[in-house]
Chain A
């Protein structure tokens, strides 16, 4: 394995982008912009996919992009380009100002107040200088997949194993004089084996993965491959069950999906458009009193961490739900102003778009019971390990999704189930959370322990 310094002049480039940003902001001002902000992002990515022991696909690239938002009074527009040449940027600035003049005045539009801009930019441990050579990354993917094949003779095929590494930097600057920048990196391995039932030939696929900011923190390729195999094999022989109302236990990943639904429902944009099932609920009980949720933008090494948000406001740790009571929405400046509230530092910004709202590290505080104890407490019910489809109505909370997992009988996982749906309403589901597990692990920006909902409709035969 080769380890070394990535890039010899990152500071110079960051300064270069800061200078570029300053120039663009000045030009925008000359074109009539009263306020503006600019995002410049660049990075490199590497990805290798191995399938049945050989390299299937290898991808490598560098990319860069610049996004500009201008305000002309209360009108605004956003543009982006990958072409940083002088000519292209001149055109972009002119186009942006023309677009802004074409839309309608919007009373609350504008940058955050100058006094709100982040004053500190902690490093947050988001960047790893490790440079992996191509062979090392291929080897990771090969070992992950090989471990899945070796784990069980019923693993007969594979959708492949993929190792990805990427690093990049973001520079954000605005006409208040704010300039912020940070670097981040990601390393990930995912393994997707296929298990076959020898008698029927029926196949099941599952996957396991891990993502880390730091290469050294990745679990071993072997452990990821073995877990993927265990998950695929345990699905063999899955059947449908009869339609009935039962308690449902969500594993960590699926509980995380419920938390993502909560995230969507308390996003400022859905709220002011009256397109959320949690309107006007601040200070009210929206969930079981077991439920406490935080959003922490400054967790060291966190996959959702960043020193400042998409508008340059300092990130922070917000209490979202405390013992079932909704304490905070997720807001940026615009949606906050629409609702008469300050931004919560949750502006998320993709380069070419105006800010929206997103979580940082959004998690449910763990309880005391292990997953096994939770399953053990169910006489008859469903342990759900996969959900598919988009059957969630964010306006009403109506929920109906395709599910697979295991049928629980007398506190034990009796057999795998598939081709069923679970249905209810999210408003009620959050209140019906009966037990929260102790097994919180951060595997993404949103994380939850195992949890149990007292009852949902399971539709099958």
Chain B
């Protein structure tokens, strides 16, 4: 079990933290917290066969917040002196519009995190740059060996080591160490004038050895090369409404865009989501059960605790097609009178907490993926995707395929060029007729953007069949 992270790491005493919380906790303030964060990010990257770039960045600071009703006052500082904490506290409580010194906050008591989902020793997270360079060199060689038409390999390895301590006006003082890493590879294939791209990557809250286990890094390289070579023979994508079979794993981005964002509590409290007031209603076919689970060991979207110190949990969002829960942070759970799910997240000390997803996936069903393909006369089989986006209010979402095939008369035939799929969040899952027994989580590459803040997330999906969705290709 992890040693509790102490405030002392930030050169701040518990008394100083309590003093700042007292200063924040004026009449009308419902809740206040201090979020101390120290982050070290490192990256090495290669292209044209050489590891050209190495970078490292260090940041440390505190975010100070007070909430009063729906209002949030927020300030942050990269200086951690008593004076800076006081200035930040005075700024944050401005919104409460009331004089100082209502009631002292309970003395925060240091709490141990209840579990350790990513027990990585610092020594293992901090590998020598030379080892990272060797990793990238091996990847470059492997991708080029895969096929001589691979003309460039761009690979990067990024790590982040984040230490946080949260002190709250409800008496919590808790810290966490959050390692994160990601290996990303992009290959360019050329055959005459035909140039195509393929990408693959993975990672999580894992140490460096993860990438070497069973030569995982080389398998990533081959996957990126394979996708680029495959796309050399891709034909134009079809346009219009058709059945689509989504492969397991990363295509779970469908869930993230189509329903996940729409179930974040802030949009529903404000009644600006297409899912507002749909709790207890049918929003998916009865083969669909979808959860958001922040408790999976070593996963990119997992956290021992969220950024308000609440332990993360597994929340059933949709159960057999019926909408059950929104995901919440403290502010929205309190204002809506609904359970706290441990989804209060922030990109860093410079940003405010918002309800955010962790690892969002659909539970396995009973169908055989082969039967799904066989059941389609003319449609699309989509295996990998680039990014997606959603308009929360009208529910329209898109996500773009990077590896897809035509299905003709029950058979997978030609690879097609990337196409965007577009649908409506509250409707698309009602059209899911088959859910496979092959649940797969993604490899750990997802980053979710909301309100200008990026946080790492995971997704997952068994193979599913959507009876109809609009495919945005160019061919009739």
Would you call A243 and B72 a contact (CB within 8 A)?
Answer: no
Dominant secondary structure at the B interface: strand
Interface window among B172-180, B386-394, B432-440 = B386-394
Contact of A104 among B50, B61, B389, B398 (CB under 8 A): B50
Which residues of B lie under 8 Å from residue A421 when comparing CB positions? 239, 398, 419-420, 422, 470-472
Min CB–CB distance A460 → chain B (angstroms): 6
What 0/1 readout, one digit per residue, does chain A (83-117) give for beta carbons within 8 Å of chain B? 10000100010011011101111100100000000
Would you call A273 and B152 a contact (CB within 8 A)?
Answer: yes
Known: A109-B52, A390-B400, A391-B400. A203 touches B389 (CB 8 A): no
Would you call B44 and A103 a contact (CB within 8 A)?
Answer: yes
Would you call A419 and B424 a contact (CB within 8 A)?
Answer: yes
Would you call A393 and B197 a contact (CB within 8 A)?
Answer: yes
Alpha-carbon distance between A64 and B152 when the two chains are bound, in angstroms: 37
Which residues of A lie under 8 Å from residue B72 when comparing CB positions? 56-58
Known: A62-B77, A274-B151, A457-B474. A419 touches B393 (CB 8 A): no
What 0/1 readout, one digit per residue, does chain B (41-55) give for beta carbons within 8 Å of chain A? 000100110111111
**Interface residue? A459 (CB, 8 A):** yes
Would you call A391 and B60 a contact (CB within 8 A)?
Answer: no
Alpha-carbon distance between A461 and B472 when the two chains are bound, in angstroms: 11
**Interface residue? A205 (CB, 8 A):** yes
What 0/1 readout, one digit per residue, does chain A (394-434) give for beta carbons within 8 Å of chain B? 11101011101000000000000011111111000000000
Would you call B272 and A194 a contact (CB within 8 A)?
Answer: yes
* Cβ < 8 Å to A, chain B residues 92-119: 94-95
**Interface residue? B166 (CB, 8 A):** no
Would you call A106 and B394 a contact (CB within 8 A)?
Answer: no
**Interface residue? A59 (CB, 8 A):** yes
Alpha-carbon distance between A158 and B272 when the two chains are bound, in angstroms: 7
Min CB–CB distance B285 → chain A (angstroms): 19
Which residues of A lie under 8 Å from residue B48 when comparing CB positions? 273
* Cβ < 8 Å to A, chain B residues 412-430: 417-420, 422-424
Interface centre among A62, A95, A238 (most CB of B within 10 A): A62
Which residues of A lie under 8 Å from residue B50 when comparing CB positions? 104-106
**Interface residue? B371 (CB, 8 A):** no
Min CB–CB distance A390 → chain B (angstroms): 4
**Interface residue? A361 (CB, 8 A):** no
Would you call A398 and B71 a contact (CB within 8 A)?
Answer: no
Would you call B474 and A423 a contact (CB within 8 A)?
Answer: yes
Would you call B472 and A391 a contact (CB within 8 A)?
Answer: yes
Which residues of A lie under 8 Å from residue B154 when comparing CB positions? 273, 275
Minimum CB distance partner of B198 in chain A? A395
Would you call A395 and B352 a contact (CB within 8 A)?
Answer: no
**Interface residue? B215 (CB, 8 A):** no
Would you call B47 and A273 a contact (CB within 8 A)?
Answer: yes
Alpha-carbon distance between A422 and B420 when the two chains are bound, in angstroms: 9
Alpha-carbon distance between A296 and B130 when the two chains are bound, in angstroms: 42
**Interface residue? A352 (CB, 8 A):** yes
**Interface residue? B311 (CB, 8 A):** no
Interface centre among B55, B78, B133, B422 (most CB of A within 10 A): B422
Which residues of B lie under 8 Å from residue A259 when comparing CB positions? none
Which residues of A lie under 8 Å from residue B390 when comparing CB positions? 388
Alpha-carbon distance between A95 and B56 when the two chains are bound, in angstroms: 8
Alpha-carbon distance between A36 and B91 when the two chains are bound, in angstroms: 39
* Cβ < 8 Å to B, chain A residues 345-403: 352-354, 388-391, 393-396, 398, 400-402
Number of chain A residues whose Cβ lies closer than 8 Å to a Cβ of chain B: 79
Would you call A81 and B73 a contact (CB within 8 A)?
Answer: no
Alpha-carbon distance between A98 and B48 when the two chains are bound, in angstroms: 23
Min CB–CB distance B180 → chain A (angstroms): 17
Interface window among A71-79, A215-223, A323-331 = A71-79
Alpha-carbon distance between A446 and B392 when the two chains are bound, in angstroms: 26
Would you call B195 and A391 a contact (CB within 8 A)?
Answer: no
Which residues of B lie under 8 Å from residue A80 when comparing CB positions? 56-59
**Interface residue? A60 (CB, 8 A):** yes
Would you call B55 and A400 a contact (CB within 8 A)?
Answer: no
**Interface residue? A30 (CB, 8 A):** no
Would you call B419 and A389 a contact (CB within 8 A)?
Answer: no
What 0/1 readout, one digit per residue, does chain B (336-366) give for beta carbons within 8 Å of chain A? 0000000000000010100000000000000
**Interface residue? B399 (CB, 8 A):** yes
**Which positions in A face B, CB cutoff 8 Å?**
51, 54-65, 76-83, 88, 92, 95-96, 98-100, 102-106, 109, 134, 157-159, 194, 202-205, 235, 238, 240, 243, 273-275, 279, 352-354, 388-391, 393-396, 398, 400-402, 404, 418-425, 457, 459-461
Task: For the complex of A and B, list the 8 residue pairs with the smallest distance between their C-beta atoms, beginning with the closest.
Answer: A421-B472, A389-B398, A402-B398, A102-B129, A205-B393, A391-B420, A390-B387, A391-B400
| A to B CB contacts below 8 Å, 20 in the list | A51-B70, A63-B76, A76-B53, A96-B56, A102-B130, A203-B394, A204-B394, A275-B152, A275-B186, A354-B53, A389-B399, A391-B419, A398-B417, A400-B400, A400-B474, A402-B396, A402-B472, A421-B239, A421-B471, A457-B475
